[in-house]
Chains A and B, each alone.
Chain A
Amino acid sequence: GQNIDQPTEMTATEGAIVQINCTYQTSGFNGLFWYQQHAGEAPTFLSYNVLDGLEEKGRFSSFLSRSKGYSYLLLKELQMKDSASYLCAVMDSNYQLIWGAGTKLIIKP
């Protein structure tokens, strides 16, 4: 079966750094996406990785290791507005997205 695992909830302090991990087992791999979802809102695209390594985009970075079936999202200089759920999704061999349940990130002042 196909499986995406990520922690259910994490807590971090404003101004700090947090790393959200995602491990996956899927039938084929055509890239990994990270989305942000604020409570009661739609998911919005953050990043896409298809090759191994780190992609940096402002305060957010995303890392991929295909051999380990592993990715992480790194958020720096945390702000209160970063309180949200972060969804990891893998595109499988049929080009369908398989989604993790999401990690709820709580930012404390």
Chain B
Amino acid sequence: IAGITQAPTSQILAAGRRMTLRCTQDMRHNAMYWYRQDLGLGLRLIHYSNTAGTTGKGEVPDGYSVSRANTDDFPLTLASAVPSQTSVYFCASSERAGGTDTQYFGPGTRLTAL
């Protein structure tokens, strides 16, 4: 693989169900990010990780959790899905945190919570 992969590509989820979106990068980037993209709005940062073992909250963290056990993987978990979490979720990475490095994006996961 090259770059960032996300799984699943799309998912329909019943309200109240738990769901983990997977993200893996093979670029050995230190920083990783989760965004959601909704029609008419800019990308909004959910959570981020500056390096393996650390995570931080972004603009819209409520209802989501993340972990960063190693450099490559950065899963996003919805503990109990609600319809307002219907969105397209993008994972991204950059070589460094706290700098102006370009962020590279995965192909996205389209999630529908009913």
Contacts and interface: CB of A to CB of B under 8 A. Distances in A.
B105 A43 contact: yes
A20 to B, nearest CB: 15
A24 to B, nearest CB: 11
B-side interface mostly: loop
Contact of A95 (B97, B102, B108): B97
A99 B58 CA distance: 13
A42 B97 contact: no
Contacts of A48: 100, 102
A54 interface: no
Given A42-B90, A50-B100, A91-B100, A100 B42 contact: yes
* Contact-residue bracket for chain B: 20 to 34
B74 to A, nearest CB: 15
Contacts of A97: 43, 45, 103
B104 A45 contact: yes
Given A42-B107, A43-B105, A95 B42 contact: no
Nearest to B42: A99
Interface in B59-112: 90, 97-100, 102-108
A26 to B, nearest CB: 12
Contacts of B97: 95
B44 interface: yes
B40 interface: yes
A26 B35 CA distance: 19
Residue with the highest number of chain A CB atoms closer than 10 Å, among B42, B58, B90, B97 = B42
B2 interface: no
